[in-house]
Amino acid sequence: MSKLGIKDIAARSGVSPATVSRTLRNPELVNKDTRKKVMKAVRESGYTPNRFGSSLRTQQSGNIVVMMPDITNQVNAGIIRAIEVEAQKTGYSVLLGDTQGQEARERHYAQMVSSGQADGILLYTHRLPFDLDNLTANLPPLVNGNESIEVEGLNKVMVDNVQGAKDGVNHLVALGHRRIAAVLGDNNAPSNRERLQGFQQALQQAGIEPDEQYLVQGDYTTESGMKAMEALLKLRKRPTAVFCFNDDMAIGAMSVLREYGYAIPGDISIMGFDDIRYASLMNPPLTTIHQPLEEIGQASMRLLLAQLSGKNSAPQHIQLPLQLVVRQSTGPAPESD
């Protein structure tokens, strides 16, 4: 049998193609008996409307594209899974845009909207994938998530990184730590700057003098966490606590401490950020800041859906709370020195 078309269903049920189309898309416009006849033919034949035809006509693809720097990252994976659930509920499909931090890839995926392959973009990278020219005027339907881009008029779903970092520091301070180091994430990431800001504010509020040597640059990878920890161990006055700006770096740092025979938290407390799935399974379980991945994905998708359905309200900015999760990788500051 050749591919079934709307005309075949029309013939089978003795109505016009127009009526078949209406039955499928706007059943309330069709007489109940007619509807039944058509639905019967559809069911019996196993007809599925061809997407190309309807897309060409309606100029809607029913797809959205999710742009993320790395899908194998647990945070991103958790978010995209929530997006997919929400998308499916409303009949949308999700195109995967793993950008690997490459601008060419970002542009490639952004193109999908102009070519009609996607109706909107969920953007979790830290820059817009368009030429900046007269862009702000006619942005495609887009929601910026996690990494806040400094452009007017963007819909955003963010997380309170400043407060999250403060909560982390306050926890360490309450445990008696004064020599608190930070392992920073990717320098280009707004999330990193926000976490640093919260970190510094909390230290100041605790009356702790900022100390440059306790700020080590990382890039959110486990490897960078390992390197940073090694650098910190070489310091004459070692920190008693290390706040890594994500869990991957914290896990890297912990593996270095284990290798050198330091006790966690006996000698050094370690704190992460994200609460990835493996954080609670570390040895010791990692104290960290929990990210509401499901809520981020869900809120992003809903905001995009609102735009796609033409609600042209002012850009929204949703900010979700983070939560400190205390486990065993942090403890009282050692009394020694």
Q: What residues line the site for its own copies (CB under 8 A)?
A: 48-53, 55-56, 59, 61-63, 66, 70-72, 74, 77-78, 80-81, 84-85, 88, 93-96, 98, 105, 108, 111-112, 114-117, 222, 251-252, 254-255, 258, 277-278, 280-285
Shortest spacing between CB 267 and its own copies, in angstroms: 15
Nearer to DNA, 57 or 236 (CB): 57
* 35-54 residues near DNA, rule: CB under 7 A: 35, 47, 49-50, 52-54
Q: Which one, 61 or 291, has the nearer CB to its own copies? A: 61
Tell whether residue 34 is a contact of DNA (CB under 7 A): yes
Which of 22, 156, 177, 179: binder of DNA (CB under 7 A)? 22
CB of 255 to its own copies, least distance (A): 5
Residue 7's binding partner out of its own copies, DNA, none, with CB under 5 to 8 Å set by partner kind = DNA
Distances (CA, A) of 188 to 28, 71, 183, 233, 258: 52, 18, 15, 26, 30
Which of the 8 DSSP states describes residue 135? G
Whole-number minimum distance, CB 41 to its own copies, in Å? 16
- The nearest distance, CB 94 to DNA, in angstroms, is 21
Nearer to its own copies, 102 or 205 (CB): 102
DSSP single-letter state for residue 214: G
Residue 107 engages DNA in binding (rule: CB under 7 A): no
What's the closest the beta carbon of residue 152 comes to its own copies, in angstroms?
21
- Residue 12 binds DNA (CB under 7 A): no
CA distance 288 to 119: 36
User: % helix / strand / coil in the chain, to the nearest 5?
Assistant: 45, 15, 40
29 binds DNA (CB under 7 A): yes
Which tokens sit at 136?
């702000």
CA 287, CA 322: separation in Å to the nearest integer? Answer: 13
Instruction: Please give the single-letter amino acid code of residue 187.
Output: N
Cis peptide before 265 (omega within 30 of 0): yes
Q: Are 270 and 253 in contact (CB under 8 A)?
A: yes
Regarding 113 and contact with DNA (CB under 7 A), the answer is no
Residue 30 contacts DNA per CB under 7 A: yes
Q: Are 299 and 320 in contact (CB under 8 A)?
A: yes
Instruction: Provide, rounded to whole angstroms, the least separation between the CB of residue 289 and its own copies.
Output: 19
- Which residues does residue 287 pair with via DSSP β-bridges, in sequence order? 271
Torsion angle, alpha carbons of 302, 305, 309, 312, to 10: 70
Rule CB under 7 A: is residue 72 a binding residue for DNA? no
- CB nearer to DNA: pick between 49 and 315: 49
Residue 309 within binding range of DNA, rule CB under 7 A: no
Q: How many CB atoms lie within 10 A of CB 24?
A: 18
Sequence-ordered list of residues with C-beta below 8 angstroms from that of 234, at least 6 positions apart, any chain: none
Per residue, the 3-state secondary structure of 143-201, as one string, reads: EEECCCCCCCCCEEEEECHHHHHHHHHHHHHHCCCCCEEEEECCCCCHHHHHHHHHHHH
114 binds DNA (CB under 7 A): no
Closest contact distance (angstroms) between CB of 13 and DNA is 9
What DSSP designation does 97 have?
E
Binding interface with DNA (CB under 7 A):
3-7, 14-22, 24-26, 29-31, 33-35, 47, 49-50, 52-54, 56-59
